C-alpha cells in the first residue's frame, strides 16, 4: 500500500503541474492579446503604411529607378511630343535629377487634382508637375525648395477681352480642378461662376468652343497657350499673389527631400534652369517673358 501511494501521488503531481503550465500559457496569451496585441498590431500596420507610402533615397538608388509624376498635356512644362516622348521644362529637370542620382527615370502622367494623392500613396517618388506651393498643400506633402515663380493669368478671346478682375462677376470662368486658380477664385471671388475640368486639354477645348468666357490658370501656362493659339490673348498677366513652383515628395521622406535641395544648389551654380528656360520656354514665349522673371536658381528667391 505504501508503495502504491507514491506512484499515485506522482501521477497527480505531474497532472497538476501540466494543468498549471497550460493555464499559465492561456493567461499569458490572453494578457498579450488584451494588452499588447492592439498596440503591436497598430504599430506594425503603422510601420508598414509608413514604409509603403514612400521610398527613401537609398531605396531609389538600389532599385535603379526614380518614379516622377508629371503632366502629359501641359506644354511647355510637361507633355508628350510627336515622338511619344515626354518633353518640357519639368521633364528637363526630371531627366537631370535622374542623371545626378545615377538612376533611370520613369514618368507617370498625373492630373492636377491627383498630384497629392499620387505622391502620398507612393505611386510616384516625386511630383514635378508645375506644382505651386500653397499652405494647404504643405499640410499634405513636403515641398523641396522652389525652381520657378508663378502667378495667375487670364486668357480671353481677342474680341472679348477682360482687363479687370471686377469684370469676372458676370462671366463663366474655366478652371482645372485642383489648381491654384480654382482655389483662388473660390476664396476671393465666390460670385464668379466656375466651369471645372479634369484636364488642361478639356479646359482649352471648352474655351475654343465658347463653352466658357475665359480661362484662369498659371500665367506661365496662359502666356504659352495664347502665344500658339490664334484669336486668344492674356489681358491680365498677374492675378493674385506671386507664388513659387517646386517638387514635392511624400510627408516625412527627408532623405529624398534633402538630396533634392542640395542638388538644387549645385544646379544653380551652372544656371541649369536658365538653360532649361532657353531650351523649352523661350521658343514659346518669345520676348513676352524673360528668364529672370520666371526662373529660380539654387532653390532660393
Backbone φ and ψ of 199, nearest 5°: -120, 155
Whether the upstream peptide bond of residue 244 has omega within 30° of 0, thus cis, is no
| Same structural domain, 136 and 261 | yes
- For 220-247, give the secondary structure using H, E and C: HHHHHHHHCCCCEEEEEEEEEEEEEEEE
Strands (E), 60-213: 65-70, 73-74, 78-80, 86-87, 104-109, 126-127, 141-157, 172-176, 193-197
Give yes or no: residues 77 and 133 share one domain: yes
Per-residue pLDDT at 110: 95
Range of the domain at 191: 152-241
Residues 199, 189 within the same domain: yes
Residue 165's pLDDT is 84
Please calculate the CA angle 221-205-123 and round it to the nearest 5 degrees.
60
pLDDT at position 178 over 70: yes
State which H helix or E strand residue 277 sits in.
Answer: none
Tally of domains in the chain: 2
CB atoms within 10 A of CB 233: 15
Position 35 in a domain: no
- pLDDT over threshold 60, residue 135: yes
Vertex 10: Cα angle to 8 and 12 (nearest 5)? 70
Question: Is residue 104 in some structural domain?
Answer: yes
Residue 5 domain-assigned? Answer: no
pLDDT tens for residues 80-94?
A: 999 999 999 999 999
Name the grid cell of 29: 496569451
E-assigned strand segments in 183-231:
193-197, 214-218
d(Cα 181, Cα 178) in Å, to the nearest integer?
A: 8
Domain boundary at 214, 241, 268, which?
241
- The pLDDT tens digits of the residues spanning 22-62 come to 444 444 333 333 333 333 322 222 333 344 489 999 999 99
pLDDT on residue 137: 94
Dihedral sign (CA 98, 248, 83, 272)? negative
| 125 and 141 together in one domain | yes
What CATH number corresponds to the domain at position 171? Answer: 3.40.190.10
The answer on 130 and 183 residing in a single domain is no
Whether 15 maps to a domain, the answer reads no
Contact criterion met (CB below 8 Å) for 243 and 149: yes
Residues 139 and 94 both lie in one domain? yes
Distances (CA, A) of 120 to 58, 140, 228: 19, 8, 35
Is the pLDDT reported for residue 146 higher than 60?
Answer: yes
List beta partners, residue 214: 173
Amino acid at each position: 500500500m505504501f508503495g502504491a501511494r507514491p506512484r499515485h501521488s506522482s501521477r497527480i503531481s505531474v497532472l497538476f503541474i501540466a494543468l498549471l503550465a497550460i493555464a499559465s500559457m492561456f493567461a499569458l496569451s490572453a494578457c498579450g492579446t488584451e494588452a499588447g496585441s492592439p498596440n503591436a498590431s497598430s504599430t506594425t500596420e503603422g510601420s508598414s503604411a509608413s514604409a509603403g507610402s514612400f521610398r527613401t533615397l537609398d531605396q531609389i538608388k538600389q532599385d535603379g529607378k526614380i518614379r516622377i509624376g508629371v503632366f502629359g498635356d501641359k506644354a511647355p512644362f510637361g507633355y508628350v511630343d510627336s515622338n511619344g516622348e515626354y518633353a518640357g521644362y519639368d521633364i528637363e529637370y526630371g531627366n537631370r535629377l535622374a542623371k545626378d542620382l545615377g538612376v533611370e527615370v520613369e514618368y507617370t502622367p498625373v492630373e492636377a487634382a491627383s498630384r497629392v494623392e499620387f505622391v502620398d500613396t507612393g505611386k510616384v517618388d516625386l511630383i514635378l508637375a508645375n506644382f505651386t506651393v500653397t499652405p494647404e498643400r504643405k499640410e499634405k506633402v513636403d515641398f523641396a525648395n522652389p525652381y520657378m515663380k508663378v502667378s495667375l493669368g487670364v486668357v480671353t478671346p481677342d474680341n472679348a477681352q477682360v482687363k479687370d478682375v471686377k469684370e469676372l462677376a458676370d462671366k463663366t470662368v474655366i478652371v482645372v480642378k485642383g489648381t491654384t486658380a480654382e482655389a483662388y477664385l473660390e476664396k476671393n471671388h465666390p460670385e464668379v461662376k466656375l466651369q471645372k475640368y479634369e484636364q488642361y486639354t478639356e479646359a482649352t477645348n471648352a474655351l475654343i468652343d465658347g463653352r466658357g468666357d475665359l480661362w484662369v490658370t498659371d500665367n506661365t501656362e496662359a502666356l504659352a497657350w495664347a502665344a500658339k493659339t490664334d484669336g486668344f490673348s492674356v489681358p491680365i498677366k498677374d492675378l493674385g499673389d506671386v507664388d513659387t513652383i517646386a517638387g514635392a515628395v511624400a510627408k516625412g521622406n527627408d532623405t529624398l527631400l534633402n538630396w533634392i535641395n542640395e542638388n538644387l544648389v549645385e544646379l544653380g551654380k551652372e544656371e541649369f534652369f536658365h538653360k532649361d528656360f532657353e531650351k523649352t520656354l523661350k521658343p514659346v514665349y518669345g520676348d513676352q517673358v524673360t528668364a529672370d522673371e520666371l526662373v529660380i536658381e539654387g532653390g532660393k528667391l
